[in-house]
């Protein structure tokens, strides 16, 4: 019988891409992880991974074994959720990850409501960038994550996660100078502030600009959306700003007529497949959704 612990180490190797990174994440030595995975290869009788440069890549057999491991872990999550459901009311600890703007504007009220309605539920919160959410969830660093997704972003469901859309936040484009709002050709010379280029929001923003016929000049990159807002207000850069950020800052800006005004980001609640019905996660999800709907 295959050892579940070794299967989880193989899964960690896939997530991290190197033996050293998997060892650090599990608080093991490199040697211990190597020995455990070598034992797993002996048990299966097949090569499960191969070295590529300084990293490691799973073979086709290794990938298939990780997919089956995800199925096993989802069944374990469902069993745990069913067991906890017998308590009737949510209790215990939930480690929640959330991105910055929703943490500031939505979570305080949601946490206050949970403290009243579920006094035996201990919700802990840590800041998690949306693009890091799947990895942190699959590595069991958090139990659930509030993330955002822009149009065209890949679905997290295929990664062994359960995704629920709990809200939608309008996103509009704002220019640093109202006089620029008359001619799309003038946008070619405008400086922009975006989130880091590898994020879903930046990729969406660049696609949107290219769809209008120009390549944005990205002069500033930051994950801090309030920084984006301040640059627009000071006339230094254009930006795509979520409505949530403007409400939080009580900012009154006129969106550009040249940029799309009918777009939105989805606010997502992510949990590992099989755990989405656990009473604690349901209570947290519903409390946050209620605040988003206000």
Q: How does residue 5 score in pLDDT terms, banded at 50, 70 and 90?
A: confident
Question: What residue ranges define each of the domains in the chain, with the CATH number in brackets?
Answer: 4-71 (1.10.10.10), 90-168+267-292 (3.40.190.10), 170-262 (3.40.190.290)
- Side by side, the strands of the sheet bearing 144-149 are 121-127, 92-98, 144-149, 263-272, 161-174, 239-242
Q: Give pLDDT tens digits for 19-53.
A: 777 777 666 777 877 787 778 878 888 788 888 87
| Residues 154-176 as b or e (16 or more Cβ within 10 Å = b) | eebeebbbbbeebbebebbbbbb
pLDDT digits (tens, 9 = 90+) for 156-208: 555 678 999 999 999 999 999 989 998 889 999 999 999 999 899 999 999 99
Average pLDDT, the chain: 87
Chain centre distance of CA 217: 26
Q: Say how far apart CA 11 and CA 58 lie, in whole Å.
A: 10
At residue 125, the pLDDT reads 97
Render pLDDT for 68-79 as a digit per residue (tens, 0 to 9): 777 776 666 666
Report residue 224's pLDDT band, with 50, 70 and 90 as the boundaries: very high
Q: Are 105 and 291 in contact (CB under 8 A)?
A: no
What's the pLDDT at 35? 81
Closest CA to 208 of 148, 162, 259, 270: 259
Give the model's pLDDT for residue 150. 93
How far the first Cα of the chain sits from its last, in Å, is 52
Confidence of residue 7 (pLDDT cuts 50, 70, 90): confident
Tokens of 25: 């994440």
pLDDT of residue 281: 95
Q: What is the pTM of this model?
A: 0.73
Name the token pair of 165.
């859309």
Strand-pair partners of 194: 221
Place 279 in a pLDDT band, splitting at 50, 70 and 90: very high
Q: What is the pLDDT of residue 70?
A: 74
CA–CA separation, 287 vs 218, rounded Å? 37
Judge whether 69 and 8 are in contact, CB under 8 Å.
yes
SS3 38: helix
Helices of type H across the chain:
4-16, 19-26, 30-44, 60-85, 100-105, 107-117, 133-138, 200-211, 225-233, 243-248, 279-292
């Amino acid at each position: 019988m295959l050892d579940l612990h070794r299967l989880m180490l193989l899964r960690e190797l896939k997530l991290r891409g190197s033996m050293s990174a998997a060892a650090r994440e599990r608080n093991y030595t490199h040697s211990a992880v190597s020995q455990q995975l070598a034992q797993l290869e002996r048990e299966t009788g097949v090569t499960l991974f191969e070295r590529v440069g300084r990293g490691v890549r799973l073979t086709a057999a290794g990938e298939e074994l990780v997919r089956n491991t995800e199925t096993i872990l989802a069944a374990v999550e469902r069993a745990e959720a069913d067991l906890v459901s017998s308590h009737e009311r949510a209790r215990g600890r939930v480690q929640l990850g959330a991105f910055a703007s929703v943490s500031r504007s939505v979570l305080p009220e949601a946490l206050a409501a949970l403290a009243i309605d579920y006094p035996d539920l201990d919700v802990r919160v840590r800041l998690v960038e949306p693009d890091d959410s799947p990895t942190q969830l699959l590595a069991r660093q958090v139990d659930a994550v509030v993330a955002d997704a822009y149009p065209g972003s890949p679905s997290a469901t295929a990664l062994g996660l359960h995704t629920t859309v709990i809200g939608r936040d309008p996103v509009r484009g704002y220019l640093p100078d109202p006089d620029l709002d008359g001619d799309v050709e003038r946008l070619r010379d405008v400086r922009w502030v975006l989130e880091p280029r590898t994020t879903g929001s930046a990729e969406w923003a660049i696609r949107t600009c290219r769809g209008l016929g120009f390549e944005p000049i990205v002069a500033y990159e930051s994950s801090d959306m309030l920084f984006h807002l301040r640059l627009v207000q000071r006339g230094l850069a254009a930006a795509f700003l979520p409505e949530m950020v403007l409400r939080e800052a009580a900012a009154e800006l006129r969106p550009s007529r040249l940029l799309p005004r009918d777009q939105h980001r989805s606010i997502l609640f992510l949990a590992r497949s099989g755990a989405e019905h656990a009473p604690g996660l349901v209570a947290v999800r519903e409390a946050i959704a209620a605040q988003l709907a206000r």
